Structure 1
């Protein structure tokens, strides 16, 4: 029976979080007055936290533009949040520049 060498602990990678304002987006005419409420934080390289914070209005604009075209039926699909999160992160990374935003953490995602 072979023994594996003890695994080395993963190296700590410094991280910072930039909170985004809550977005409230109308879901279009077929949603009869329903809204999508999204709250999120950006996981960023600490060296870029201030720069990404400064770019928050652009980030919110690109997220607002994307979420406004999402159909209500799309939100009911089981994999919708995973797919939408990836789409939103890609757009955020385009706005903020390469290497600045590592991840998008959704802390609230509610259809109201």
Structure 2
């Protein structure tokens, strides 16, 4: 009887070992491959010389100049307590166009003030408001500036209180 129970125990141990061993080997291999993949990616072996390509792209980029827009404080109409929007931005342009942009700054401020006063408080509180407002304001500045080169509008302050 003791021989039979010993035989059954050894067979159960083999089954447990047969199940556990492949799982253990798979776990060790997965950890090793993950560590190897991290090292290859982190060390820069994979993907070529991306740092040098970025530096080359930067040197080939056209020169830019920034023209600051005076801060704008807009009182917002709405229910409840009075709310204000504080806005500050810069216009990205080419270096030769700075003086032309500064010359029409009163028109730019007028179009931005008019637009920001027309926007509802609910529109300003949305998560995507800044993206939409930035695109709308950039388009209005481009319309006001005419043939002057206005590349982008960089919002540096947008506070709603």
1:41 maps to 90
Q: Could you list the runs of 4 or more consecutive aligned residues of structure 1 that deviate by over 2 angstroms after TM superposition? A: 3-8, 29-32
Which of 59, 82, 90 is the matching residue for 2:139? 90
CA distance in 1, matches of 2:67, 2:49: 38
Contact 1:31-1:72 within 8 A present in 2 as well: no
SS of structure 2 residue aligned to 1:13? coil
Unpaired runs of 5+ in structure 1? Answer: none
Do 2:101 and 2:145's aligned partners in 1 also have CA atoms closer than 8 Å? yes
Query: TM-score, normalization: structure 2?
Result: 0.63
Aligned-pair Cα RMSD in Å:
1.9
Give the strand-richer structure, 1 or 2.
1
Query: Which structure 2 residue ranges, 5 or more long, are not aligned?
Result: 1-46
- TM (normalized to structure 1)? 0.89
| Equivalent in the alignment of 2:44 | none
Give the one of 66, 76, 97 matched to 1:27.
Answer: 76
Structure holding more helix per residue: 2
Bigger relative contact order (CA 8 A; separation at least 6) = 1
Partners of 2:48 and 2:69 in 1: CA distance: 44
